[in-house]
Amino acid sequence: MNRKPHVAVVGATGAVGLEMIQTLEKRRFPVGQLTLLASARSAGKKLSFADSPVPVQELTRESFTGIDIALFSAGGSISKEFAPLAARAGCVVIDNSSAFRMDPAVPLVIPEINGADAKQHRGIIANPNCTTAVTLMALYPLHQAFQVRRIFASSYQAVSGTGAKAIEELQRQVGEIVAGKPATLDVYPHQIAFNVLPQVDSFLPTGYTKEEMKMENEGRKIMHHPTFRASVTCVRVPVYRAHSVAVSAEFERPVTVEAARAVLAKAPGLDVVDNPEAREYPLPLHVAGKDNCQVGRLRQDCALENGLCFWVVGDQLLKGAALNAVQIAELLLP
């Protein structure tokens, strides 16, 4: 790998793509050259990187010549079509979509957990699902200490997880409702303003959604824990940014709140915010824009043996997407 790689961002104009550009800048990633790619709709538009305007180009099959690292966030179908092509052109793809996450030949990486897996790549490395990434930032250190058996969890997922159009939808609906007009629908099947939707992604024959099963499937792969079980209900909430997850975890070994707190206090990329007496606990409003995830509401689970409840919040555009992708890119540097 070049010391100053030529980096491409695919989906540069999207909610994740814009964060990727900012994250490269903020972390002083040694970008030799930056190529921004999106659909024909955005060609010619200029985005700012390191105080200079960079024109957006249309993504084509020829886009990857000379690129060292391509950060993909333009949806699964674009990844399926263009990521193998980019890898064949000699570039390492870090893919944010779900297209390759469960492919046994593709490492699925959270650098704080299984960074070493990135070295096994054959041209494509997958970035995990955002809700899974946020949850594992707290669950994995607990697993190392107490050996997790299974979790029950509910997520409270921000609209920016659906992309730029969903942020506009929440803004528009709030305006419509406050003005006494009916809410117009575009992105979600129901009104999201002043409501919560117990559906994220499409339903499987089991009744779970695809999003809900990512926790178990991706969790097993990332934690190298093939018997990990997760029963999850994913819920979309009218929050702009940062996902929250309420988790009840059952462990093989006895766990106390004090021992769990000591483990979490040392975990990388995680802050413990847990002072209920002072009404201090993680809030999506406080976590939005922050690199670290936050965990709080620690308590012994009253319904499980060796059980612990916690509430973990993370900016899904950062740890669930752009930050994690740039951290993976950092692992590739010489």
Q: Cite the active site residues.
A: 130, 243
Backbone angles phi, psi at 247, to 5 degrees: -125, 135
* Interface with ligand NAP (CB under 6 A): 11-17, 38-39, 41-42, 59, 73-76, 78, 96-97, 130, 160-161, 163-165, 316-317, 320-321
Comparison of 212 and 250: residue with beta carbon closer to ligand NAP: 212
CA distances (Å), origin 72, targets 175, 291, 302? 33, 20, 43
For the bound state, the minimum distance from the C-beta of residue 300 to ligand NAP, rounded and expressed in Å, comes to 32
Comparison of 53 and 182: residue with beta carbon closer to ligand NAP: 53
Residues 194, 237, 180, CA angle at the centre, nearest 5°?
20
Distance CA 309, CA 301 (A): 5
- To the nearest 10°, the Cα dihedral for 232, 236, 239, 242? 40
C-alpha 21: how far from its chain's center?
16
For the bound state, the minimum distance from the C-beta of residue 86 to ligand NAP, rounded and expressed in Å, comes to 13
CB-closest chain residue to ligand NAP: 14
For the bound state, the minimum distance from the C-beta of residue 75 to ligand NAP, rounded and expressed in Å, comes to 4
For the bound state, the minimum distance from the C-beta of residue 16 to ligand NAP, rounded and expressed in Å, comes to 4
Quick one: angle between helices 130-146 and 210-223, nearest 10? 40
Comparison of 82 and 146: residue with beta carbon closer to ligand NAP: 82
Q: Residue with structure tokens 């979309």? A: 236
Comparison of 14 and 282: residue with beta carbon closer to ligand NAP: 14
Q: Residue with structure tokens 């990187």? A: 49
